[in-house]
Every structure is written in structure tokens, then in C-alpha cells.
Amino acid sequence: LVLALAFDGSRPGLDRLKAGRADLALLVLPPGEDDAAAAFESATLAYHRVVILVPPASPLVQVTLDQLAGIFGVGGRVGFTRWGELGLSGDWSGRAIVPQAAVAGAGIAAEYFRQVVLHGRDFRSNVGRYDSPVDLALRLAGESRAIALASSPPSTPGVAKIVPVATRAGGSSYLPTPENLHSGDYPLRLSLRVVFRRESAGALRPLWRFLFSDELAPLLERADVVPLPVAARQKQMLALERL
């Protein structure tokens, strides 16, 4: 199987498929544009996610999308500046919330969050911008009162706590596990999809066997995306084999 790689972006990749100049593409399309690839076969390979992080000592046990919008965005219905406004008590109640997000260009998590949760509004002026996982870990260390958006938690154990996210007040909250991402229970996710021409299915079978294999899963994690759960990968492979 001869491969020619072109790291040009999702929309150029989709254009190549439509023009017949490509047989398969790995695409990340914005919410609402799923129909753009409707003419092709498609399968979810992995998920980008936005993880909400706080220091390990934080008593925050969950957060809603509206609360996140009030913490990070300008011009929303409600703004939150103190931890007590989110129901925290004791020493945390009167402390200022210190929001953090990655600098522009450091992955897609912050921009995806801005589009989906803030509905295109800008980040507030008090949102700090970190430029690396090491920088993020430092901002969450010690007596930090930070809350951060990230694509994954820092690799150093004990640096941060992942906060479950609820779609609405009073609703169930979920952690960004592979199972919750795949079921759609965790709301801050964006699919990485394999999109291909149906007439090329037979020739591509060896490739997608690799793409959905246990061998590739750790490589996807290194690329900061979350592979499907094992059972879901196996089910997806069986569906593809029937084409």
C-alpha cells in the first residue's frame, strides 16, 4: 500500500477527497459541519477533548458549561470572579478565580472551547495564557487558585485534579474518559474521523486495520488525542470489514 502524506488541514483534505485526488483523510471538522463529508464513508478514530483542571487541594467537585462560560468569557449572562460564587466555602470562598488557557496555536482545545462554550466570544482579560505543559503545572502548583483548560492533564502525578463537567445545572457530570467521550456524555469533545471513498474500501482495508489497532492507540495518545475504547474499536473494525 503506497501512502502519500499531505498535512494540509481538514478542509483541504476534504477538498482532495471530493476532487478524487485522495482516497482517505483524517479530518477534524467543526461542530455543525459533519454533513460536509456525507458523500463518503466515515468512522470516528479518536477524540480531541478539553479537560478542566484545578489544583489537587481544590474542593471543586464539578462544573457546568454555563459556569465555565462565566469564568472564561466576556459578555455572558453571568460572570464569576470568586470561588464562593461557585459554591465553595471556607478559605476558598473569597479567593479570586484565576482562569488559565493555552496560548494561541498550542493545539485546538482553547479555540474549540471559545467557539462551543463561549459561542465565539473572546476570553476575558484576566485569563492567563500558558505555553507548555510545564508552564501549566507551575501555574497549578502551591497555593494556586487556578482553573485551567487543557487538552490533557500534566504528566507529573499529583499536579492537577480533573473536574467532571455537566452540560447544565442539576445534570449529571462526567469525567473525560474514553468511554464518556465515545458515548457523548462528556460534552467537550471533538471527533477525529477517518473519511474515505467507498470504492477504495478494499484497497484501504490493511490501513484501517492498523488505524483501529491496539498498536496505534498509544501513538494517538502521544498526539494528544484519545483513542476509542477497546470494545468500540473492535466494533468499528467489524463494521468496516463488511464494506
CA-angle at 104, arms to 100 and 108, nearest 5°: 90
CA-angle at 54, arms to 48 and 55, nearest 5°: 135
Output the pLDDT for position 37: 86
CA-angle at 44, arms to 43 and 50, nearest 5°: 165
For the chain, give the number of residues: 243
DSSP 34: G
Collect all residues with Cβ–Cβ distance below 8 Å to 27 and sequence separation of at least 6: 10, 13, 14, 37, 192, 193, 195
Per-residue b or e along 88-123, where b marks 16 or more CB atoms closer than 10 Å to that residue's CB: beeebeeeebbbbbbeeebebbbebbbbbbbeeeeb
Amino acid residing at 209: R
Grouping H, G, I as helix, E, B as strand and the rest as coil, residue 150 is strand
Distance (Å, rounded) from C-alpha 83 to C-alpha 234?
44
Output the pLDDT for position 76: 76
Collect all residues with Cβ–Cβ distance below 8 Å to 111 and sequence separation of at least 6: 104
pTM of the model: 0.91
Give CA 229 to chain center in angstroms: 16
Q: Residue 50 in contact with residue 229, Cβ under 8 Å?
A: no
Blockwise average pLDDT, block size 10, the chain, 243 residues: 83 92 91 82 95 96 97 89 94 95 88 94 95 91 92 87 96 97 96 92 90 94 94 90 83
Q: Residue 160 in contact with residue 148, Cβ under 8 Å?
A: yes
